[in-house]
Amino acid sequence: MERTVFFLDQKEMPTSWYNILPDLPEALPPYISPATGKLVTPQELGRIFPMELIKQEMSQERYIEIPEEIQAIYRTWRPSGLHRAFQLEKALKTPARIFYKYEGSSPAGSHKPNTAIPQAYYNMKEGVTRIATETGAGQWGSALSYSCSMFGIECKVYMVKVSYNQKPYRRILMETWGATCVPSPSTDTKAGRDALAKDPQSGGSLGLAISEAVEDAVTHENTHYSLGSVLNHVLLHQTIIGLESQKQMEMAGYYPDIVIGCVGGGSNFGGIAMPFLKDKISGKHKNIRCIAVEPMACPTLTKGHYEFDYGDVAGMAPICKMYTLGHNFMPAPVHAGGLRYHGMSPLVSLLYKLKLIEAKAVFQRPTFEAGVLFARTEGILPAPESNHAIRVAIDEALACKATGEAKTILFNLSGHGHFDLASYEEYHSGRLPDYEYPDEKVKEALKTLPKVSL
Amino acid sequence: MERTVFFLDQKEMPTSWYNILPDLPEALPPYISPATGKLVTPQELGRIFPMELIKQEMSQERYIEIPEEIQAIYRTWRPSGLHRAFQLEKALKTPARIFYKYEGSSPAGSHKPNTAIPQAYYNMKEGVTRIATETGAGQWGSALSYSCSMFGIECKVYMVKVSYNQKPYRRILMETWGATCVPSPSTDTKAGRDALAKDPQSGGSLGLAISEAVEDAVTHENTHYSLGSVLNHVLLHQTIIGLESQKQMEMAGYYPDIVIGCVGGGSNFGGIAMPFLKDKISGKHKNIRCIAVEPMACPTLTKGHYEFDYGDVAGMAPICKMYTLGHNFMPAPVHAGGLRYHGMSPLVSLLYKLKLIEAKAVFQRPTFEAGVLFARTEGILPAPESNHAIRVAIDEALACKATGEAKTILFNLSGHGHFDLASYEEYHSGRLPDYEYPDEKVKEALKTLPKVSL
């Protein structure tokens, strides 16, 4: 009897995260303060983040221990299953072996709680009683709401108003976990009120919601801000995905030739890929290919430039060196809301610049085509973001079919699509559009990069 | 390091279902044909069910082997996790040990695929290429859509029109798995057209949807009908829940004092309870208590009578001896759509009559109160049906707190509530009503029982 899912016993759950910083062949460029244009200080970051996370952000320790209190909550759904996609392979008639790590079994339905739990925990440990954050489609907001409820922390979520109105289920989910969720622009902050004064009908943007959450954090007592992707400590926490996958691939008896994840800010891809990249950098498995998949509508790695840019539209977040389309860029309304980010994690950016990873941009419709085939063979209904990874996994498996090679492909199924069914209906009805981000617009957007003096 | 979830390796997944029929202290009364008023014949049942399922319905074999093709699909999500509810225990300050078996990790989000998969499989084996069924809130329809897509069978779902309009996500889910879903009453059947002629605005009912699906099955070539609860073979397939739980409780080092499940037709309760009832009947664990929890709005066990009644409103389904509120009963619109059934599985009914199990009826609001506490402690957002089991598990744990006893409580968390968030919003807003089914209405409804000549 063959296994389809490789479950690790909870006693085998990794007890440390993997920090790639000391293994990088080239140092990561520093963060710049948007206020001073100079190196950001830990004190500046300390206004909005707990010291432990700031330490992790810059740590040169290869392994960072996961506190037992965090492990206890991780054990609600971790170790997550690693699946062999037997039925997808059969449907594709490919000699390739396709595996996927399924992160949709977390209470919030995605990989986001892997970092939301430690972020809430370290804030709680430092006496923070309230956290403010922003959310677009609601994946991050619901993960943080869940995590705050686990540690008795108040949670305030500024949700981009168009999503707030379109996705009431995500909002109710956050409220069920006890969070307060308001549409952004809101009247609760100066940034929100200013935006509403300019345009009372404003549907909001992720950039504006970040500004509101940061303002909320610095103007309230005992309140911090929390970010769901991009930063080093976020990717660090997500490495539990890759570390578990390595143990499970060993159970399965294969080492992957290709590792695939979708990228918005870069955390689910970084989380699965970095432990394997350690083997690539060390020369132990130097031929492994790691592929980051992004939407054609937001081709940060494939069309962006590697420059210093703001992390947010309002220019309040730290400036970092990353692949960027310019912080003023306005992405087309693809359903993969989690991939609509102008920049890219500095870590993933450096890995790409060093050619340690590859990148592919894909159109929206083919990603849904892949997701529907996946649902009809493997059963699980994927999130629109995850469909990007599935698309490229299928493409690689079809390439194997053409050459007859039996490669081992592993991809990260970052979340389920239970809250995204309206997008599937659009696909079924034939109304789902493809979007591309035109080269001229990229050029235009890149003119807005900030001045940095190092 | 303590475990929170007890995962069984896939190699330890049970390879047989447990059939309680040969262990019953008293024989189950036979089914009666609605056409003849006499014992139903296998030939009559063969019009709508495959022979293998009819055999299972009446089998006296204690264990029935699970074919490898079914095990292969089960392995997409089975064995499901058994969780220790450490955080709920802490919140309740109870000495009780609370465990729950989580069936929401199946692709359809509930326990329903445990029987939908074998039903689709046996139909496929007998050359059936199309299955018709009904669905209320959509749990069963989506489970069968998923299962049919696994075996290349066409699936037609008649969905009660009010739910079809209120729950578009469940419909899109079915369509994503390739099923055709129409609102019932539909123009596709005579039963539907007649209903529409009488009342063009009809919102439909489960009884009418059953009539449409059965008519569809008998008027189309190579088409069968499929039922998601009530019947013996359905409960048989669900015993995999209890069989796995027994192995996992052994891993945990405890045997339950109390086993709890919600009941509509009775399949998720029967599925978890029956393997434990084997130990009760044999005297091995004679003090174990199994509690079936139903809504006050539909108190089949606690207020119904043990009589022969139709399985459906239209009187087309087999007549069986069961606890019933009368087949014409109209349940109040509680959100636990899966528990709004006038009858009860004949097996669960007999077990209740023999006092081998207990029953409790609970109001709607306290079940949501329990579900929200569960979400804020254990993280998982439960289905409204499952909230009934949680309510009684909490009540039993609080009773332990009062007496100081450290009982071991196991309940079945039959599904997640990702598609039921509108009901949580109603609860949060304070607008969620409690419903009771008045005694006079029970008396009235019971006057409609059919005449049976045995």
Tell me which residue in A4, A380, A418 faces B75 most closely, judged by beta carbons.
A4
Least confident of B62-66, B270-274, B389-393, B445-449: B445-449
Give chain A's radius of gyration (CA, Å): 21
Interface membership of B65 toward A (CB under 8 Å): no
pLDDT at residue A67 in the model: 98
Tell me how close the Cα of A150 comes to any Cα of chain B, in angstroms: 6
Q: Phi, psi (5° rounding) for residue B213?
A: -65, -40
State the sign of the Cα–Cα–Cα–Cα dihedral A87, B245, B81, B254: negative
pLDDT at residue B287 in the model: 97
CATH number of the domain located at residue range(s) B5-10+67-109+233-442 in this protein: 3.40.50.1100
Residues of B in contact with A76 (CB under 8 A): 4-5, 83, 378-380
Query: What whole-number distance in Å separates Cα of residue B318 and Cα of residue B33?
Result: 5
Contact A392, A260 (CB under 8 A): yes
pLDDT at B436 over 80: yes
Interface membership of A150 toward B (CB under 8 Å): yes
Interface membership of A430 toward B (CB under 8 Å): no
Helix ranges restricted to H, A93-186: 113-125, 139-150, 161-166, 168-176
CB pair distance less than 8 Å for A372 and B77: no
Q: Which residue of chain A is at minimal alpha-carbon distance from B426? A: A172
Tell me how close the Cα of B4 comes to any Cα of chain A, in angstroms: 6
Query: What whole-number distance in Å separates Cα of residue A333 and Cα of residue A39?
Result: 35
Interface membership of A435 toward B (CB under 8 Å): no
Tell me how close the Cα of A376 comes to any Cα of chain B, in angstroms: 5
CB pair distance less than 8 Å for A169 and B76: no
* Residue burial B287-313, b: 16+ Cβ < 10 Å; e: rest: ebbbbbbbbbbbbbbbbbbbbbbbbbb
CB pair distance less than 8 Å for B1 and A71: yes
Residues of A in contact with B73 (CB under 8 A): 379
Mean pLDDT, range B327-339, rounded to an integer: 86
pTM of the model as a whole: 0.95
Six-digit token string for A156: 């305030």
Contact A345, A318 (CB under 8 A): no
Domain boundaries, chain A: 5-10+67-109+233-442
pLDDT at residue B137 in the model: 85
Mean pLDDT, range B293-320, rounded to an integer: 91
In A11-153, the DSSP E strands lie at 16-18, 63-65, 82-84, 97-102, 130-135
Interface membership of A418 toward B (CB under 8 Å): yes
pLDDT at A1 over 70: no
Query: What whole-number distance in Å separates Cα of residue A47 and Cα of residue A237?
Result: 21
Interface membership of A380 toward B (CB under 8 Å): yes
CB pair distance less than 8 Å for B419 and A422: no
Q: Among B448, B230, B447, B445, which residue's Cα sits nearest to residue B346?
A: B230
Q: Among B7, B16, B410, B2, which residue's Cα sits nearest to residue B247?
A: B7
By DSSP bridging, strand B154-160 and strand B130-135 are: parallel
Residues of A in contact with B86 (CB under 8 A): 72
Interface membership of A90 toward B (CB under 8 Å): no
Mean pLDDT, range A141-149, rounded to an integer: 98
CB pair distance less than 8 Å for A5 and B5: no
pLDDT at residue A450 in the model: 85
Q: Among A5, A96, A85, A92, which residue's Cα sits nearest to residue A378?
A: A85
Pick B206 or A294 by higher pLDDT: A294
Query: What whole-number distance in Å separates Cα of residue B71 and Cα of residue A81?
Result: 17
Least confident of A14-23, A116-125, B66-75, B324-333: B324-333
User: Of all residues in chain B, what percent carry a pLDDT higher than 70?
Assistant: 99
pLDDT at residue B447 in the model: 87
DSSP A201-219: T----HHHHHHHHHHHHHH
Which residues on adjacent β-strands are paired with residue B379? none
At A301-316, the pLDDT tens digits run 999 999 999 987 778 7
Query: What whole-number distance in Å separates Cα of residue A230 and Cα of residue A268?
Result: 10
Pick A202 or B225 by higher pLDDT: B225
Tell me which residue in B73, B146, B428 faces A175 most closely, judged by beta carbons.
B428
Tell me which residue in B3, B68, B172 faces A424 most closely, judged by beta carbons.
B172
Query: What whole-number distance in Å separates Cα of residue B397 and Cα of residue B373?
Result: 14
CB pair distance less than 8 Å for B419 and A418: yes
Least confident of A323-332, A392-401, B131-140, B390-399: A323-332
Q: Which residue of chain B is at minimal alpha-carbon distance from A417? A: B173
At B219-266, the pLDDT tens digits run 999 999 999 999 999 999 999 999 999 999 999 999 999 999 999 999
Residues of A in contact with B429 (CB under 8 A): none
pLDDT at residue A442 in the model: 85
**What CA–CA distances, in Å, run from B371 to A445, B239, B414?**
48, 25, 13
In this structure, the number of other CB atoms found within 10 A of the CB of residue A330 comes to 14
Q: Which residue of chain A is at minimal alpha-carbon distance from B145? A: A376
At A261-289, the pLDDT tens digits run 999 999 999 999 999 999 999 999 999 99
Q: Among A61, A345, A103, which residue's Cα sits nearest to residue A242?
A: A103
Q: Which residue of chain B is at minimal alpha-carbon distance from A3? A: B10
Mean pLDDT, range B191-205, rounded to an integer: 91
State the sign of the Cα–Cα–Cα–Cα dihedral A29, A30, A34, A35: negative
Interface membership of A12 toward B (CB under 8 Å): no
**Res. B329 pLDDT band, cuts 50 70 90:** confident
How many distinct helices (H) and strands (E) make up chain B?
Answer: 18, 15
Six-digit token string for B20: 């309680």
